[in-house]
Amino acid sequence: MHDPKNPDWADNEFMSDIMSVDELTELGTGDVAYIKPIKAQELKEMFPEVPPLQDNMTLYALLNADGTPILLADSREAAVANAFEADLEMAALH
């Protein structure tokens, strides 16, 4: 019987027949992005060149599908606008 919680395509051996780990890692890179609200105190890891900011300030990081930072904005709308201008497909985080 088919188990929807464990589809055949999720089997590691099956997936390795379709694409390599490197190909899977690069899936969506350059085409898909997401926006992550981020506190200023967390920024140094993602954006080492960021100047000192108030720790409680929330900014919005536009990130590539693989998590690579693209830009930092002071509003979600600005991050979305940049993604739109760059023809990036937006993915929702849950």
pLDDT digits (tens, 9 = 90+) for 25-70: 555 456 788 999 998 878 877 777 878 888 788 999 999 888 888 8
Q: In the chain, what are the domain boundaries?
A: 30-90
CB 69 within 8 A of CB 36: no
Q: Taking residues 8-12, what's their average pLDDT?
A: 54
Does the pTM of the predicted model rise above 0.75?
Answer: no
Give the model's pLDDT for residue 36: 92
Give the model's pLDDT for residue 10: 55
28: left (phi > 0), else alpha (psi -120 to 50), else beta? left
